[in-house]
């Protein structure tokens, strides 16, 4: 079956531009996560969506970051006025239900974002 799909796989943009990153989770998975991974580092939690509940945005590093999830499926992470420190791999994961820490999370291959 289809896994988690992310697009684009690579994005190079100039400082100050806005970018949109897309995640298509596994069909039927109600929980969706966005993480950021800097070179050689672990994953930094950004935001969590669960069904129709209010998302947990506690990991977003600044108000330039926002995310939405339409119809409980596809999610978009938007970074406005990009800065060089935003350069990283942005990973999306989904899990079957709300207990995402008690079951496997399924990851996409990420979007590698480079800010010039």
Partner 1 sequence: SQQGEEDPQALSIQEGENATMNCSYKTSINNLQWYRQNSGRGLVHLILIRSNEREKHSGRLRVTLDTSKKSSSLLITASRAADTASYFCATDRGSNYQLIWGAGTKLIIKP
Number of H helices, E strands in the chain: 0, 10
Chain positions 7 to 46 lying near partner 1, rule: CB under 8 A, are: 31, 35, 40-45
Q: Quick check: 114 binds partner 1 (CB under 8 A)?
A: no
Instruction: Tell me whether residue 15 or residue 45 sits nearer to partner 1 (CB atom).
Output: 45
What is the closest distance, in whole angstroms, from the C-beta atom of residue 17 to partner 1 in the complex? 24
Which two tokens mark 66? 């926002």
Q: Quick one: which segment of 11-19, 64-72, 74-82, 106-114 binds partner 1 (CB under 8 A)? A: 106-114
What is the closest distance, in whole angstroms, from the C-beta atom of residue 100 to partner 1 in the complex? 4
The residue ranges of DSSP E strands in 1-116, in sequence order, are 5-7, 10-13, 19-24, 31-37, 43-50, 65-69, 75-79, 88-95, 106-107, 111-115
Question: Is there a contact between 16 and 79 (Cβ–Cβ < 8 Å)?
Answer: no
Chain positions 65 to 104 lying near partner 1, rule: CB under 8 A, are: 91, 93, 98-104
Which two tokens mark 12? 């190079």
Residues at the site binding partner 1, with contacts judged by CB under 8 A: 4, 31, 35, 40-45, 48, 50, 56, 91, 93, 98-110
């Amino acid at each position: 079956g289809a896994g988690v799909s992310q697009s684009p796989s690579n994005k190079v943009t100039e400082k100050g531009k806005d970018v949109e990153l897309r995640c298509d989770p596994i069909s039927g998975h109600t929980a969706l996560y966005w993480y950021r991974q800097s070179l050689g580092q672990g994953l930094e939690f950004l935001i969590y969506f669960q069904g129709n509940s209010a998302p947990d945005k506690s990991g977003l590093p600044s108000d330039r970051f926002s995310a939405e999830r339409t119809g409980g499926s596809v999610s978009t992470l938007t970074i406005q006025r990009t800065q060089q420190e935003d350069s990283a791999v942005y990973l999306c994961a989904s899990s079957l239900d709300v207990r995402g820490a008690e079951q496997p999370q399924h990851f996409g291959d990420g979007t590698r974002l480079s800010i010039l």
